[in-house]
Structure 1
Amino acid sequence: MPSQFKRILITGSNGQVGSELKELLGKEEGFETFFLDRKQLPLEQTMIIQDILGMYEPDIIIHAAAYTAVDKAESEPELADAVNHLATEEIAQYCRLHDAKLLAVSTDYVFDGLSSEPLTEDAPTAPLNIYGLTKWRGEQAIQKWAPESIIIRTSWVYSTYGNNFVKTMIRLLNEREELSVVHDQIGSPTYARDLAQAIIDIIKADWLPGIYHYSNEGQLSWYDFAVTIRELIGATCRIIPIPTSEYPTPAKRPAYSLLDKSKIKRIFNVRVPFWLDSLKTMLGSR
């Protein structure tokens, strides 16, 4: 199906989702794509963002860039807010002024983790940390300035690109004889390639604005995830399950952030693979 969007601008081109989009969009025909990294689009310099975007005149902006250093954000709240909130506000304002569409990637960290059932898009938000708060403020800015936008919340993103849990585990499992991983934080990982493909499917479909949730199917803890990675790579490191209370971090994490994907599947008919299948795919493509 031909898309109404011919000129696509992607922020965060060197991030996990941006890198996967670069690879997948390279196989698509009919699009003129512009991938901007943090040097080409310095999000902390909010005053120049709209001028830079204007140079490309995009039909749609896929905003995948973010300040994602969750613990570091606790000591850099102004920088995190500039990148995740104020820069997003500038992008939303540009889209409103120039009649461009916006698809932005957000996070499960906008929730407080107190739920006991999969989170729908209208579940109450209550971020526990600076990162989650700044991403939530970014969502609010989008809905204020560009209400016709699409926001996709995702969780536990990993890829062959960038820094992530899977790559960290592979390194540590090969380096150490013993490793402790928290067992009481529940959610579902997201293979960035699956999310990137879902984004492409969405921009090729009829545009239906709103907030959507996307992560791989199934639920597990970080401990479960680590044990599975160990089994798949054939490591022998012992993994010890520990409660979050024994692994203090500067930023508090939600204990439960499993996302309900029924809306995005119903509206856009996107494919949501099971987490284990996607993990095997990622590990096989290293």
Structure 2
Amino acid sequence: MKRVLITGAQGMLGQDLARVFHDAELHLLDRKELDITHQEDVEKVIAELKPDVVLNAAAYNLVDLAEQDSGFAIAKAVNGDGPANLARACARYGIPFIHFSTDYVFSGDTPEGYAEDDLPRPRSRYAQTKRMGEEGVIAAGGAYYIVRTCRLFGRPGVGESSKQSFVDLMLHLARTKSELSVVHEEVASPTYTPDLAQATRQLIEGGYAPGVYHITNSGSCTWYEFAQEIFAQKQILIPVHPVPASQFPRPAHRPAYSVLLNTKLLPLRHWKEALRDYLTQG
């Protein structure tokens, strides 16, 4: 790849995508450089830069705030309209387009997990906007790749809307609390952003057909099991109590079981191994 354009470049995933494509001519754009919700701006940037590939790591991920009308409007613009705008511009100029989506597009009602061609059934307003984005990308045609993933962790993003990962949150709470209660429900697969970024480059360069792909680290866990592994690997002694999700009521629905089944690509390493890499990095 000679020229690579990455939106949401200051976020956790965006930064690792930039590292993986370090040998390319990078165009790293955040909201200040390109507001993907404006079709005309998107068309202008794509036409001027003429990248060889566009990766969209921009997203609104304030899941609970999206339940409010004001938050939903922003989420719909960023998660729904933005990817469609990018996909249409890329299709017009024959540019491959990679868009990142989420396990939340599924209801989480099945204990078998979800394959790439399973029917999405979003149950929160945030999840609805993510599915809108997928539908917009598909409708645009062209060489699109929708990559669903979940529970990202890695080096924190530096953008103004970047969120703290669960791993970093647990480490922070362990320094400030004497004991913790963590939800022992909501099974999914933690995903290390450097692994996701590398797998994305392999997807682009490996001759894979356009379509929907699932990329996560192998294995799955509840939030409680995730927290226990974090503390075990860091050798942090703190009481952690498993509790039901009902103890922490939240506005938005969370899938009970949203493991993404990867039936198209080589599997990534286990999330515990990836976690060890993250926790032992300098």
TM category, shorter: over 0.9
Distance in 2, matches of 1:180 and 1:45, equals 42
Identity %: 36
Distance in 1, matches of 2:109 and 2:58, equals 28
RMSD: 1.4
- Secondary structure at the counterpart of residue 202 of structure 1: helix
**CA deviation profile, 1:113-139 (whole Å, cap 9, x unmatched):** 101112101112111112211110110
Cα deviation for residue 247 of structure 1 reads 1.1
Distance in 1, matches of 2:55 and 2:132, equals 18
Cα deviation for residue 164 of structure 1 reads 0.9
Distance in 1, matches of 2:214 and 2:226, equals 20
Which of 5, 9, 18 is 2:14 aligned to?
18
Distance in 2, matches of 1:48 and 1:10, equals 15
- Matched residue, 1:181: 182
- Matched residue, 2:135: 140
Q: Alpha carbons of 1:47 and 1:78: their partners in 2 closer, same or farther (altered >3 Å)?
A: farther
Cα deviation for residue 92 of structure 1 reads 0.9
- Matched residue, 2:109: 114
- Secondary structure at the counterpart of residue 125 of structure 1: coil
Distance in 1, matches of 2:208 and 2:115, equals 20
Query: What are the equivalent positions in structure 2 for 1:1-286 lying under 5 Å apart?
Result: 5-26=1-22, 28=23, 31-75=24-68, 76-162=71-157, 163-265=164-266, 272-286=268-282
- Secondary structure at the counterpart of residue 49 of structure 2: coil
For 2:90, the aligned partner's letter is: C
Cα deviation for residue 61 of structure 1 reads 0.5
8 Å contact from structure 1 (residues 11, 62) kept in 2: yes
Distance in 2, matches of 1:38 and 1:222, equals 31
For 1:173, the aligned partner's letter is: A
Aligned residues: 274
Distance in 1, matches of 2:279 and 2:8, equals 23
- Secondary structure at the counterpart of residue 263 of structure 1: coil
- Secondary structure at the counterpart of residue 70 of structure 1: coil
Unaligned runs of 5+ in 2: 158-163
8 Å contact from structure 2 (residues 34, 42) kept in 1: yes
Cα deviation for residue 54 of structure 1 reads 2.3
8 Å contact from structure 1 (residues 46, 82) kept in 2: no
- Secondary structure at the counterpart of residue 55 of structure 1: helix
Cα deviation for residue 56 of structure 1 reads 1.2
**CA deviation profile, 1:76-129 (whole Å, cap 9, x unmatched):** 101100001111111011011111110111100100010111210111211111
| TM-score (normalizing by structure 2) | 0.93
For 1:283, the aligned partner's letter is: L
Cα deviation for residue 147 of structure 1 reads 4.6
